[in-house]
Amino acid sequence: MVFTYPSSSYPDWMSEMWSHMGGGMMGETSDPYLGYFGVLFTILIAVVVISVAGIIYFLLYPELKTGQTKKQIRPYESSKKPKAIESIRRTLNKDEQKIIEVLEIHEGKYLQKYLGKEAGLSRLKTHRILARFEERGIVSLESKGNTNEVTLKEWLT
């Protein structure tokens, strides 16, 4: 009687189990291309992860999109000296600003009775505002019949 060994040193049931689990023992595969596809799949996943991280970074830091940096303002070189009327306007209330705007529209000269109407103010309010302006040297008042001619001072125009 002759005793023969099977081609594999393991029983058939064990080799069958390994083949169902993706190959033989110790990383052996039945398909030689499966290893290459695994490497390509890993590289593809890495590229996708890096791309998504780059897009998120780009969206979180928009200053990198435009490439513009914040400009440094030098006090005397980059800013204009404000006009006198702009400086005065900052100190005025709403009603006083309305009077100045109407005077500017009419090139700095207008009759008091029309000035109040265009500004939407009563005659008394208009008179009081113009009296304050005359005290401050903002306007000059010249009597014209039964009204005054209001003129902005030259240093404001």
Q: In this structure, what are the phi and psi dihedrals at residue 73, rounded to the nearest 5 degrees?
A: -95, 125
Q: Note the pLDDT tens digit of each residue in 87-103.
A: 888 888 999 999 999 99
- Range scoring the smallest mean pLDDT among 31-35, 81-85, 90-94: 31-35
**Rounded to whole angstroms, what are the CA distances from 130 to 134, 140, 154?**
6, 9, 16
Confidence (pLDDT) at 78:
45
Confidence (pTM): 0.48
**Cβ atoms of residues 91 and 82 within 8 Å:** no
Average pLDDT over residues 9-14: 60
Ordered DSSP codes for 10-63: S-HHHHHHHHHTTSSGGG--S-TTHHHHHHHHHHHHHHHHHHHHHHHHHHH-TH
Mean pLDDT of 148-155: 90
Q: What is the pLDDT of residue 121?
A: 93
Structure tokens at 137: 């040297």
What's the longest Cα–Cα distance across the chain?
A: 149
CA 117 to chain centroid, in Å, comes to 42
